[in-house]
């Protein structure tokens, strides 16, 4: 009896020690929080009231909040009153506007896309128009960030625009009614190549309506003809809502299959998300295109498809964002977007690339993101950390330096504007390539466009440096000769890159005629990743071997 009492006493003692240790640890945390809030508040008050120059109390505090959050991952951010509409756009997928996308072209704020069916299109705004004024506010590249807030507003209200149109001398005035514009998650969907059974879907975001949009798209395509294969393009898709990613994946993966799990700081916070419905596309072959711009929700979709061997992942390694954010409403119409968990693919992979806790004293413990091997359903080896590695890596074609230079200077954009002054867009599309290139050469001559290569710039720097240093001055003549040869070669590059220039002109013309759909379809004609996907889908043996299917 005494032995039993002694054992019970020891057990209770150990329990009390463990419990008391836990309480002390918790109370230490609460004490540290209270202590440092008190210090922070006193510092804030002292500076606000006593600093030699007056400070803006709100901006001063906001700077402190931003500084504090900067020590964490870049996805944990404070959202002030001015940026609440960005949250509404992400969560609701709609806003009040006129249906235009703007960008800087030819050192002007230009309309680069017009959405179908909204007031901008209905009242005659055109791609290529330069925006000069919104509601009496002059618009320049310096204040382009203000244009969105000036144009957006409550549906049913009006916005006044002044634009300059190439070929028209005077400014044109517009008064357009704002409408409720639903954010399109699918930029283009259709059977491509033409007359094939392959459905190509370009998914650009994961806002609230994306799942329903994809469902309607697939049903519409099914009504047109039998879907034999799907190319789901997630390239440069930065992600969005986690539950929407689950819904999108469930369109291809079977009911009950695990899609993703999330785990927070608390070990009890594990959540698992599985397919709740039968897939819309069950047996058709599937290829998912990804690149370094595919992140977050895009990686959830790609990871689940890969782990269950449902389809082939093709392209380049994805971004590597395995962190989940929660939006917490705060007072005064502000919010905090805070990272609350990591997500894991069905095989158990966390694909987060950057370890923000490493060498950072703010974190109480360092996270381990070591590269580890996992197995798919068909026993293929896949790896954690650093994004989703495609099953077949296909590099995208990088634009030549001269094409990038033309884009930066808006040359092709201006050239199409120049052609539109003389001809209808559809007539431009019918121009023979030789005539188009001939007119382009004349145009760049009239614009005094001179291409200076990076190599030429470096030789220029070396020439300047050799002239400054006496021991190298005798080399300046040689550098002058090299520079002259490079200048001649640069001029010849225009003809060397004739096909690339004509391709970009064709894409821009297609964009003017059919918007983003025209641009995408025209781009696919020479897209190496898409063309490789189509060739794999046509070869049943290669497709099955990549997935180890029998």
Q: What is the pLDDT of residue 546?
A: 97
What is the C-alpha separation between 184 and 94, in angstroms, rounded? Answer: 9
Average the pLDDT over 248-275 and give the result: 93
Cβ–Cβ contacts within 10 Å for residue 526, how many? 14
Task: Tell me what the mean pLDDT of segment 186-203 comes to.
Answer: 95
CB atoms within 10 A of CB 195: 7
**DSSP assignment of 331-344:** STT-EEEEEEEEEE
DSSP H helices, 57-160, are: 57-69, 84-92, 119-122, 144-151
* CA atoms of 65 and 72, how far apart (whole Å): 12
- Whether 110 is a known active-site residue: answer no
Range from 259-263, 324-328, 513-517 that averages highest in pLDDT: 259-263
Q: Which residue in the list 202, 285, 321, 342 is annotated as catalytic?
A: 321
CA distance 150 to 130: 16
Question: Could you say which of 209, 274, 294, 296 is catalytic?
Answer: 296
Would you put residue 77 in left (φ > 0), alpha (ψ -120 to 50) or beta?
beta
> Per-residue pLDDT for 112 more than 90?
no
Q: Which of 247-251, 328-332, 345-349, 462-466 has the lowest mean pLDDT?
A: 462-466
Q: Which residue is it, tokens 């699918």?
A: 186
321 counts as catalytic: yes
Band of pLDDT at residue 2, cut at 50, 70 and 90? very low
Residue 307 is among the residues annotated as catalytic for this protein: yes
Average pLDDT, the chain: 86
Reported pTM: 0.81
pLDDT of amino acid 19 = 42
Which pLDDT score is estimated for 256?
A: 96
**pLDDT tier for residue 3 given thresholds of 50, 70 and 90:** very low
pLDDT of residue 8: 46
Question: Which tokens in the block code for residue 393?
Answer: 């890596």
Q: What percent of the chain has pLDDT over 70?
A: 91
Extract the tokens encoding 271: 């959540």
Residue 426 C-alpha from the chain's centroid? 32
* Higher pLDDT among residues 193 and 22, named by residue: 193
pLDDT digits (tens, 9 = 90+) for 398-415: 888 888 888 878 889 889
323-339 residue pLDDT tens:
999 989 999 888 999 99
The one catalytic residue among 129, 233, 247, 307: 307
Say which range, 2-6, 268-272, 444-448, has the weakest mean pLDDT.
2-6
The CA distance from 245 to 253, in Å, is 12
Residue 442: the pLDDT is 93
Q: Which helix (H) or strand (E) holds 419?
A: helix 411-422
């Amino acid at each position: 009896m005494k032995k039993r009492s002694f054992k019970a006493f020891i057990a209770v003692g150990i329990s009390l020690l463990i419990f008391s240790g836990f309480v002390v640890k918790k109370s230490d945390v609460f004490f540290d929080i209270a202590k440092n809030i008190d210090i922070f508040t006193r510092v804030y008050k002292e500076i606000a009231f006593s600093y030699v120059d007056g400070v803006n109390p709100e901006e001063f505090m906001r700077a402190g909040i931003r500084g504090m959050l900067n020590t964490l991952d870049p996805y944990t951010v404070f959202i002030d009153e001015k940026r609440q509409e960005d949250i509404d756009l992400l969560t609701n997928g709609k806003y009040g506007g006129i249906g235009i996308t703007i960008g800087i072209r030819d050192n002007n704020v230009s309309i680069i896309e017009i959405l179908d069916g909204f007031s901008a299109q209905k009242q005659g705004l055109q791609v290529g128009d330069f925006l000069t004024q919104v509601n009496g506010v002059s618009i320049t590249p310096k204040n382009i960030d203000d244009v969105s807030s000036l144009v957006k507003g409550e549906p049913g209200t009006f916005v006044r625009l002044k634009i300059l149109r190439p070929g028209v001398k005077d400014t044109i005035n517009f008064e357009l009614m704002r409408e409720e514009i639903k954010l399109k998650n699918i930029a283009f969907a259709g059977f491509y190549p033409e007359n094939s059974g392959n459905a190509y879907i370009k998914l650009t975001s994961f806002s609230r309506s994306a799942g329903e949009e994809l469902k309607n798209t697939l049903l519409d395509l099914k009504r047109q003809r039998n879907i034999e294969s799907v190319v789901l393009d997630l390239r440069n898709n930065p992600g969005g809502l986690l539950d929407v990613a689950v819904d999108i994946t469930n369109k291809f993966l079977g009911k009950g299959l695990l899609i993703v799990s999330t785990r927070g700081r608390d070990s009890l916070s594990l959540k698992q998300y599985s397919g709740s419905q039968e897939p819309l596309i069950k047996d058709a072959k599937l290829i998912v295109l990804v690149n370094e711009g595919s992140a977050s929700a895009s990686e959830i979709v790609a990871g689940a498809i890969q782990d269950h061997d449902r389809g082939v992942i093709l392209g380049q390694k994805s971004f590597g964002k395995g962190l989940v954010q929660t939006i917490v409403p705060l007072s005064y119409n502000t919010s905090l977007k805070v990272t609350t968990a990591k997500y894991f693919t069905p095989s158990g992979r966390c694909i987060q690339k950057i370890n923000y806790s490493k060498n950072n004293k703010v974190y109480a413990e360092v996270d381990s993101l070591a590269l580890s091997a996992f197995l798919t359903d068909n026993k293929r080896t896949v790896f954690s950390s650093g994004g989703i590695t495609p099953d077949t890596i296909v590099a995208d074609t990088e634009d030549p330096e001269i094409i990038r230079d033309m884009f930066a200077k808006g040359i092709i954009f201006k050239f199409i504007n120049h052609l539109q002054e003389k001809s209808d867009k559809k007539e431009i599309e019918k121009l023979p390539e030789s005539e188009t290139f001939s007119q382009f050469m004349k145009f760049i001559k009239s614009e005094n466009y001179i291409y200076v290569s990076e190599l030429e710039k470096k030789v220029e720097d070396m020439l300047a440096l050799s002239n400054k240093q006496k021991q190298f001055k005798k080399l300046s003549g040689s550098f002058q000769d090299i520079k002259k040869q490079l200048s001649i070669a640069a001029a010849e590059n225009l003809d060397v890159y004739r096909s690339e220039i004509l391709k970009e002109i064709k894409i821009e013309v297609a964009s003017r005629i059919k918007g983003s759909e025209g641009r995408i379809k025209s781009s696919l004609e020479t897209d190496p990743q898409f063309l490789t996907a189509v060739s794999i889908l046509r070869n049943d043996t290669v497709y099955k071997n990549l997935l180890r299917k029998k």
